[in-house]
Structure 1
């Protein structure tokens, strides 16, 4: 049998060839809309990274961080949407956003929910947002959460 260290070593020291392409990670933004044709939504980042974490929070997140795991899943769904549009990925993103939005104060004037997948790149000193994917809005009450 091969030495256990030889089996464990690739897991401890990652290969630089792990990623095929190094590219910007997609960001998911959402907006509550007044109607299905409303384009003047107030776009907010979905689950933005915290600005600061205490050392204790960092240690805890090394072992237990289900919210971050779900955020990584959403990034995978967003990447799939940009590569090849799938109803599953779109529905998963809508469900996760709706589950968070229902915890916010309700806005009866904005019953529609929409999201978009944005890639941020640098053009000189400026940051440029490029919308790669934006589905049709869905009524928040009709999105199956759970």
Structure 2
């Protein structure tokens, strides 16, 4: 029984030493545009993390959290897009942003074009937060697009 527990324990509580390094992950930000040539007036973080979670919500998230799994997939797509841009990663990010906007924004607040960017946030030596944009997509026409 003890040997079984010794085999199971590392799977239940993995060591952080499993990773070679822990680097900041890119954040996805989006902006809607009136036309393809316009400049974004304001960028919005896609699915910002909550400032506070109640203990009950944390416990529930440990057992069931499909939205977080999808966020991890988006981080993976964003990392791939930063290292080696591909149409697949770009389309996966775009598809999730448009679906979220369809679900949360009223039709009157939507503009026909969508643009997203990938931002790394890091802390400088003086303690200030520094944002570095690593990828900026072309504007995509989403008006009339089937959101799925």
Normalising by structure 2, report the TM-score: 0.88
Runs of 4+ in 1 over 6 A off after TM superposition: none
Give the aligned partner of residue 74 of structure 2: 74
Give the aligned partner of residue 120 of structure 2: 119
Deviations 1:25-65 (A, max 9, x none): 11000000111122233100000011111121111111111
Whose helix fraction is larger, Structure 1's or Structure 2's? 2
Equivalent pairs counted in the alignment come to: 145
Unpaired runs of at least 5, structure 2 = none
Deviation larger for 79-88 or 3-12: 3-12
Superposed displacement of residue 107, structure 1: 4.0
Give the aligned partner of residue 107 of structure 2: 106
Normalising by structure 1, report the TM-score: 0.89
Unpaired runs of at least 5, structure 1 = none
Q: What is the root-mean-square deviation of aligned Cα atoms in Å?
A: 2.0
Deviation larger for 36-45 or 4-13: 4-13
SS in 2 for 1:17: helix
Within a 5 Å distance, the mapping from 1:21-60 to structure 2 comes to 21-60=21-60
Cα distance in 2 for residues equivalent to 1:37 and 1:72: 32
- Contact 1:116-1:132 within 8 A present in 2 as well: yes
- Contact 2:31-2:40 within 8 A present in 1 as well: no
Deviation larger for 99-108 or 53-62: 99-108
